[in-house]
Structure 1
Amino acid sequence: MDFGLKGRRALVTGASSGLGRAIADTLVKERATVAVSSRGGEKLQKAAKELGAALAVPCDLTQPGAARGLVREVTQKLGGLDVLVVNAGGPPSGGFEAITVEQWQTGFQSLWLATVDAIQEALPGMKAQGWGRIVLVTSTAAREAMNNLTVSNGLRAGLLGLVKTLSNEVAPYGITVNAALPGYHATDRMKDLGLSDEKVAPNIPARRLGRPEEFAALVTFLASEPAAYISGQSIACDGGALKGF
Structure 2
Amino acid sequence: MDLGIAGKTALVFGAAGGLGSGIARALAAEGARIAVADINADALSQTVADIEAAGATALPLQWDLSDLSVIESRMQAIDDTFGGVDILVNNTGGPPPTPAAGQSVELWSKSFESMVLSVIAITDKVLPGMRHRKWGRVITSTSSGVVAPIAGLGISNALRMSLVGWSKTLAREVGRDGITTNIVLPGRIATPRITFLDEQKAKREGRSVDEVSAESVATIPVGRYGDPREYAAVVTFLASVQAAYVTGSVIRVDGGLIASI
- The alignment's TM-score, normalised by the length of structure 2, stands at 0.90
Counterparts of 1:217 and 1:21, CA distance in 2: 12
Letter aligned with residue 213 of structure 2: D
**Percent of aligned pairs with the same amino acid:** 38
Q: Secondary structure at the match of 2:68?
A: coil
Shift of 1:167: 0.5
2:120 is the counterpart of 1:116: yes
Counterparts of 2:74 and 2:142, CA distance in 1: 20
Structure 1 runs not aligned, ≥5 long: none
Shift of 1:62: 1.1
Contact 2:24–2:34 (8 Å) recurs in 1: yes
Counterparts of 1:116 and 1:68, CA distance in 2: 14
Counterparts of 1:94 and 1:85, CA distance in 2: 26
Counterparts of 1:34 and 1:125, CA distance in 2: 17
Shift of 1:68: 4.7
Specify the alignment match of 1:186 in structure 2.
Answer: 190
Shift of 1:137: 0.7
2:222 is the counterpart of 1:218: no
Contact 2:189–2:227 (8 Å) recurs in 1: yes
Counterparts of 2:80 and 2:147, CA distance in 1: 36
Could you say if the C-alpha distance between residues 97 and 161 of structure 1 is closer, same or farther in structure 2, counting changes exceeding 3 Å? Answer: closer
- State which of 54, 57, 62 in structure 2 corresponds to 1:58: 62
Counterparts of 2:19 and 2:164, CA distance in 1: 19
Specify the alignment match of 1:40 in structure 2.
Answer: 40
Specify the alignment match of 2:147 in structure 1.
Answer: 143
Counterparts of 1:46 and 1:3, CA distance in 2: 25
Contact 2:198–2:213 (8 Å) recurs in 1: no
Contact 1:86–1:136 (8 Å) recurs in 2: yes
Letter aligned with residue 218 of structure 1: V
Specify the alignment match of 1:80 in structure 2.
Answer: 84
Counterparts of 1:228 and 1:97, CA distance in 2: 41
- The alignment's TM-score, normalised by the length of structure 1, stands at 0.96
Structure 2 runs not aligned, ≥5 long: 200-211
Greater radius of gyration (CA): 2
List structure 1 runs of 4+ shifted beyond 6 angstroms.
Answer: none
Counterparts of 1:17 and 1:150, CA distance in 2: 24
Counterparts of 2:75 and 2:139, CA distance in 1: 14
Could you say if the C-alpha distance between residues 40 and 56 of structure 1 is closer, same or farther in structure 2, counting changes exceeding 3 Å? Answer: same
Contact 2:25–2:47 (8 Å) recurs in 1: no
Counterparts of 1:205 and 1:65, CA distance in 2: 44
